[in-house]
Chain A
């Protein structure tokens, strides 16, 4: 799957490295040096996907993300460093699709890009989602793990199907809470954490090494995606 990818980062080393790698994977790449240029090229060049650094001079990634979302629905993957969790959450809540933390491995970035492009291609989630033994049939509302049926409460199913619809992509605590319980619950983090613990247990996930529902510290949760393998 070849796509048009806009890379916006103020560090030339990162820009050039990403250009080379992404071109090597068959994508067409355009570069931007800061948020202002990023917004401008997102408008004129109409990329399929945007990699956006958070900390940049002139205009940071967060503002750029908000402005791009006014005219474009192209997936935005935020590049950030450790410790910017709150900025990541703000960017995700402002419409970014996902993030990777610098320094990142290329395999990780490529997996995020695949997930982003697939979602943007509008394939939608198939009726039956399967990943590594977990299978969720959305028309029959049936969940099985290695063939064994798992009984979920309506809210558990609602959270799981929301994760399935966004498989491979991070969902913030707020997004999950608002989706399953309503916006007035958006700050009940502890509630969500216990709830995810229960859901993992029902899916046979270990508390120490969850296989399906991954924790994104300080940000939210991510369901394992078949795209990763």
Chain B
């Protein structure tokens, strides 16, 4: 702030100096009264470029310099001829008024720009909300429809189902309820990531334990894909939030299942603080490798999933200080999660 004032003042004085030299030079050619006018574009320029203070400083300086050098008696601030007061007065007034006017204009245009930014933000958040709503209502309805259909079938008074059919209806209700639970968790996580409130509670965990837990929970709903864990059975501890990291792996495995070739295996490979989730199936176009992590981005036209899972995975991994990326492999697509390398201390046994 102080530097800006210093720059404004120096620039104003320099402008007035240059203009005064010009006026001095032209004095032999033209009448003094006409030359006063030359200060005005200078003041206007300063008002527009540097604001009110510059214009004010410049007009006062021009007033003083003009009086000192160009008005008789020279080298005093006295004014011999009364009509010279008019030139001086006009000079000062132009400086003050234009300065104010420009400053006002600038403030208004800044306010307008601010208003515009705000409106854009609101529009963006509106857009996010309606896409979220659309995605969510679609995804909530699918398991809800399955639950409703199964439960109402079982409730039909006149229909008798055999044990197998009853069991099938009941397990549908059970697994679809789990799906709803996962979806709600994703929504909560998304809103925490959006509001910056996602704080991992870091503890030391073996990533292969988290991966095994996720695989065991998803295997029954894997649509015939074999979920495999590839991990050394040695104890390597990474500093992670167990619940959040299991949500990341759940989303990655779920994604690998949905986009994998029917019946092909999905492998989760844990190597110390690196986890790879890879499937077999079609490749991702190069331009999608990054974009799939955007909110609501649903690749490849297959409109399943909310388009939130990978965005959440990215948000969580980054909140852990790690990196996540996708790459094409010879057989399909691999998602890599690399967590920061913080080793545990050796333990005193």
Partner of A197, one of B206, B211, B345: B206
**Closest approach, in angstroms, between the C-beta of A223 and any C-beta of chain B?**
16
**Quick check: A208 and B231 within 8 Å, CB to CB?**
yes
CB distance from A207 to the nearest CB of B (A): 5
Within 8 A of A (CB), among B113-143: none
Complex: A210 Cα to B212 Cα, angstroms: 10
Bitwise, B23-41 to A at CB < 8 A (1) or not (0) is 0000000000000000000
* A191→B203 CA distance, assembly (Å): 11
Contact B204 A189 (CB under 8 A): yes
Q: A44 contacts the other chain (Cβ, under 8 Å)?
A: no
- Whether, in the assembled complex, B2 has its beta carbon less than 8 Å from a beta carbon of chain A, the answer is no
A197 to B209, CA, bound (A): 11
Bin the interface of chain B by size: 20 to 34
Q: Which residues of B contact A153 (CB under 8 A)?
A: 349
Q: Does A40 contact B (CB under 8 A)?
A: no
What are the residues of chain B within 8 A of A193 when measuring CB–CB? Answer: 203-205, 237, 344
- Give A103 to B177 CA distance when docked, in angstroms: 9
Interface residue? B347 (CB, 8 A): yes
Q: How many A-B residue pairs have CB under 8 A?
A: 72
Report whether A191 and B177 are in contact in the complex, using a CB–CB cutoff of 8 Å.
Answer: no
In angstroms, how far is the closest chain B Cβ from the Cβ of A54? 16
- Which B residues are in CB contact (< 8 Å) with A189? 203-204
Question: Which positions 196-221 of chain A face chain B at CB distance < 8 Å?
Answer: 197-198, 201, 206-210, 215, 217-218
Contact B208 A208 (CB under 8 A): yes
- Chain B contact residues: helix, strand, loop or mixed: mixed
Cβ distance A198 to chain B, nearest Cβ, rounded Å: 7
Inter-chain contact A190/B242, CB cutoff 8 Å: no
Asked if B208 contacts A82 (CB within 8 A), the reply is: no
Among A103, A195, A215, contact of B205 (Cβ-Cβ < 8 Å): A215
B181 at the interface (CB under 8 A from A): yes
- The residues of A that contact B216 with a CB separation of less than 8 Å are 209
Question: Closest approach, in angstroms, between the C-beta of B206 and any C-beta of chain A?
Answer: 5
User: With A193-B205, A194-B347 in contact, is A208–B177 under 8 Å at CB?
Assistant: no
CB distance from B95 to the nearest CB of A (A): 64
* Of the residues B201, B206, B246, B344, contact of A208 by C-beta under 8 Å: B206
Q: How close is B67's CB to chain A, nearest CB, in angstroms?
A: 76
A100 to chain B, nearest CB (A): 14
B155 interface contact, C-beta 8 A = no
B208, B212, B347 pick with most chain A CB within 10 angstroms: B347
Which residues of A are found within 8 Å of B174, using beta-carbon distances? 105
Q: Does A83 contact B (CB under 8 A)?
A: yes
> Are B237 and A209 interface neighbours, CB within 8 A?
no
Complex Cα distance A103/B193, Å? 23
Q: Is B235 positioned at the interface, with any CB of A under 8 Å from its CB?
A: yes
Please name the residue on chain A nearest to B209 by beta carbon: A208
CB-defined contacts of A83 to chain B, threshold 8 Å:
188, 243
Cβ-defined contact, A208 with B349, below 8 A:
no
B209 touching A207 by the CB < 8 A rule?
A: yes
Contacts A193-B205, A218-B203 given; 17 further ones with Cβ under 8 A?
A82-B185, A86-B201, A189-B203, A190-B344, A193-B204, A193-B344, A194-B237, A194-B344, A197-B237, A206-B233, A207-B209, A207-B234, A208-B209, A208-B231, A215-B205, A215-B209, A217-B246
In the A-B complex, the 9 residue pairs with the closest CB atoms: A217-B242, A208-B208, A197-B235, A208-B212, A193-B204, A194-B347, A209-B212, A190-B204, A207-B206
